[in-house]
Amino acid sequence: MAQAGHAAAFRGRTPTRALQPAQVRAAAVRAGTVVGVLLALWGLWELYRYVWIREAWTWPFPVNDTTLPHIHSIFQALGQPTSQGPLLITFLLHAAWFTAKEALVGFGLGAVVGFALAVALVHSRLAQRALLPYIVASQTIPILAVAPMVVVWLKSGWQSVAVIAAYLTFFPVTINTLRGLQSADTAAHELLRSYAASRWKVLWKLRVPASMPYLFSALKVSATASVVGAIIGELPSSIQGGLGGAILNFNQYYSITPADLWATNLIAAALGITFFVAVVLAEKLVVRRAPEQRA
Amino acid sequence: MTVVAISGVTKTFPKGHVTALQEIDLQIEPGEFVSLIGPSGCGKSTLLRVIGDLTAPSAGTVEVNGKSAHHARLDHDYGMVFQDSVLFDWRTVAKNIGLPLEMLGFDRSRRKQRVDEMLQLVELQGFGDHHPWQLSGGMQMRVAIARALAFEPALLLMDEPFGALDEMTRERLNIELLDIWRRMSSTIVFVTHSISEAVFLSTKVVVMSPRPGRVAGTVDIDLPQPRSGDTREDPRFFQKVTEVRELLRGVGADEHGSVLAEERA
């Protein structure tokens, strides 16, 4: 009887799904903060330009329309037609979509390989001792040195770009997932031992669910790394359709149309942020944790 | 048939040459509620873990339901409750209780039926969809007990399950546990460092001595069943508490005996 009363009182405290005024206010405050920060950054940029140009300071570099274009000229450039015809924004969005596909395949490949490696390593101390040093060493080789080799092996194409992106993606996934697979405490393992659970069951019922928060913090790093990996991967593959090609191209014309390169960077950053946000949303769907434990 | 038969069990840990258990002999019959009590380092938790085949003895034999402890574990002959509730955060209360049933291959509908029965048994109806972190410590422990009983093991091993709870919650859960014990007609081995808890719950209290861990003596608790809050005020209850305390004093336990620092040997 006392329990029923307790249950009712508890349910009363549980927040319901419907949006409440407090939640709407919180969302408005958050949106306001984002806009405020963007405006402040814009202001700082323009203030810096104004002061450096007026004082003619040359340290760390002389400021003019080429070295540091107006923010509004960068946005204006997006609305200008390119030499090929379409507007720059259209051209860049196409390039971003092209790169996004490569990055997505690379991200998926890297995540799967990274996860599988972690599962293998957690089950074999020998494998851990034998392989881990080489996994770490693989990341000390600059991607610019690895990329041309991948292109030689796989031929130039989006597949080689995806593999290069995967090369940057898998490492954080392996390291974090390994830690996550080992994160369950002794008592939890003993509980499963008392059920005579097989290694396979321990993996799927305990180790993997326990590793999810670790996996997702790795995926957040990997999501942005896969975009960078895809852009870099396009360079030695001489792929023209993506953001890498666009960056290379606008780089050559920087002294004439500097805003084009800045605009390209803007779109590349937006793509990275999109990947990041997608992982954050997926994490919210998948990871159920006590609120204070949520990273 | 004897549920637990321990003969000549010795357990030494190579690190530091600790003898946690020495020549333990103990028989536990069906339907008994046996408490293991003793000062820290007496090996009572180790003994429980040996029965559950979570630790292998260095010498001697342990039989559970006439089988080796190892086979009994593989046959899911016992349920285990730890000091910490060991609930999985990512599972709801109902899914936590259903965990052993998943391991045993119960299908979804049988699982749901058993989980509902268990929720009722520990009086947590309506909490099935909650996550563990939304429950109080006492409620979490009730979920752990429900999980241990879900597949109806004849033997329940409990390692200081109420040690981390406040006095009032502990006393309420003691009464609930006795109620469950009667209804499930199970056998319970219960590790505790509280004398009054041991006397209140048990049909038999096994007092252990430290370094090396040995059985110093057993006290049969023939207080009338079913026990209730009144049992704690019965003169015979105090008599039994005194008897256990005397035994503990003999083995060098704290004078007051009730709050002994505990450590896993």
The complex's ipTM works out to: 0.88
Q: Determine the distance in angstroms separating the CA of A289 from the nearest CA of chain B, rounded to an integer.
A: 6
Please give the pLDDT value at position A199: 93
Residue A7 lies in a domain: no
Q: For residue A105, which amino acid is it?
A: V
Sign of the Cα pseudo-torsion (B66, B71, B77, B79, in order): positive
Mean pLDDT (whole number) for B75-90: 91
Q: For residue B165, which amino acid is it?
A: L
Please give the pLDDT value at position A207: 96
Where, residue-wise, is CATH 3.40.50.300 in chain B?
Answer: 1-41+51-77+153-219+234-258
Residue A163 lies in a domain: yes
Query: Which residues of chain A, if any, have pLDDT below 70?
Result: 1-18, 289-295
* Tokens at B165, concatenated: 């709870």
The answer as to CATH 3.40.50.300 being correct for domain B1-41+51-77+153-219+234-258 is: yes
Report the b/e string of A24-43 with b at 16+ CB within 10 A.
eeeeeeeeeeeeeeeeeeee
* Tokens at B224, concatenated: 């009338």
Q: Which of A11, A194, A212 sits opposite B73 (nearest CB)?
A: A194
Please give the pLDDT value at position B258: 40
Q: Are residues A96 and A195 in the same domain?
A: yes
> Are B191 and B30 in contact, with CB atoms under 8 Å apart?
no
pLDDT in tens, B249-263: 877 655 444 434 433
The parent domain of residue A93 ranges over 76-289
Please give the pLDDT value at position A84: 79
The number of domains in chain A is 2
Q: Which residues contact A114 (CB under 8 A, 6 or more apart)?
A: A169, A170, A171, A172, A173, A174, A177, A218, A222
In A, what residues contact B, Cβ < 8 A?
A: 3-4, 7, 10-11, 14, 185, 187-188, 190-197, 201, 205-206, 209-210, 212, 287-291, 293
> Across the interface, do B86 and A293 touch by the CB < 8 Å criterion?
no
In B, what residues contact A, Cβ < 8 A?
A: 52, 54, 73-76, 78-80, 82, 84, 86, 88-91, 99-100, 102-104, 123-127, 130-131, 133-134
Q: Is the pLDDT of residue B83 over 50?
A: yes
pLDDT in tens, A76-86: 999 999 887 89
Please give the pLDDT value at position A292: 54
